[in-house]
């Protein structure tokens, strides 16, 4: 029997095409796996420094280091930690702005002489730092409230 008669050339071409496409798919999968592993290795290399920084700033208490390390091993929980850090920074910034505003108000009062005199030339006893002081001008807020009570019908 002749061997060339047994092998169908069309079947041979189909098998060859299958092997080429499979080889290409496997190469792409292996390339993707290398990229993924390289990213994991880079992230793993950063983990000790992040843990140390977290301990220094008080984000990771000593008794929770193992839990923190486990969280940093997962991309989802790492992103969650990052989100929480940004929210904390946002809160601190808002608090700092509020405190800055309060400091500016205190500075305005101080510039007015620390005696309740407000920039428009009037007097506000609630801005006077000394409780019970006689007002240098006008009525105190407590006087106005007291008069209101006295004027109410019984």
Residue 127 within any structural domain of the chain: yes
Is position 66 within any domain? no
Q: Specify whether 15 is located in the same domain as 57.
A: yes
pTM: 0.45
Q: Are residues 107 and 125 in the same domain?
A: no
Q: Which of 42-46, 57-61, 141-145 has the lowest mean pLDDT?
A: 141-145
Q: Is residue 1 part of a domain?
A: no
Does one domain contain both 27 and 41?
yes
The pLDDT of residue 27 is: 96
**Residues 122 and 105 placed together within one structural domain of the fold:** no
Residue bearing the bigger pLDDT, 20 or 107: 20
| pLDDT number for residue 115 | 57
Q: For 91-140, what is each residue's pLDDT tens digit?
A: 888 887 776 666 555 555 444 445 555 666 666 666 666 656 666 666 77
Task: Report which listed range, 27-31, 88-92, 138-142, is most confident.
Answer: 27-31
Question: Do both 107 and 83 map to the same domain?
Answer: yes
**What is the rounded CA–CA span in Å between residue 85 and residue 60?**
12
Q: Does one domain contain both 18 and 56?
A: yes
In the chain, the number of structural domains is 3
Residue 69 lies in a domain: no
User: How many C-beta neighbours within 10 Å does residue 128 have?
Assistant: 19
Q: Are 102 and 132 in the same domain?
A: no
Regarding whether 101 and 123 lie in a shared domain, the answer is no
- Judged against a pLDDT cut of 80, whether residue 16 lies above it is answered with yes
Can you give the pLDDT at residue 125?
A: 64
For 91, the domain range is 74-111
Residue 133 inside a domain? The answer is: yes
Residue 4 clears pLDDT 60, i.e. is over it: no
> Mean pLDDT for the chain?
78
Residue 111's pLDDT is: 46
| pLDDT (mean) for 53-80 | 87
Quick one: 103 and 121 in the same domain?
A: no
């Amino acid at each position: 029997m002749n061997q060339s008669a047994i092998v169908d050339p069309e079947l041979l071409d189909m098998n060859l095409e299958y092997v080429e496409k499979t080889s290409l798919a496997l190469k792409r999968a292996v390339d993707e796996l290398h990229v993924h592993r390289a990213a994991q290795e880079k992230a793993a290399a950063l983990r000790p420094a992040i843990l140390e920084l977290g301990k220094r700033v008080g984000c990771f208490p000593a008794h929770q280091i193992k839990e923190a390390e486990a969280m940093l091993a997962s991309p989802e929980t790492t992103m969650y930690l990052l989100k929480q850090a940004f929210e904390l920074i946002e809160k601190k910034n808002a608090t700092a702005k509020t405190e800055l505003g309060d400091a500016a108000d205190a500075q305005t009062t101080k510039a007015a002489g620390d005696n309740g005199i407000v920039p428009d030339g009037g007097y506000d006893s609630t801005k006077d730092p000394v409780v019970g002081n006689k007002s240098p001008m006008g009525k105190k807020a407590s006087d106005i409230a007291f008069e209101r009570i006295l004027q109410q019908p019984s």
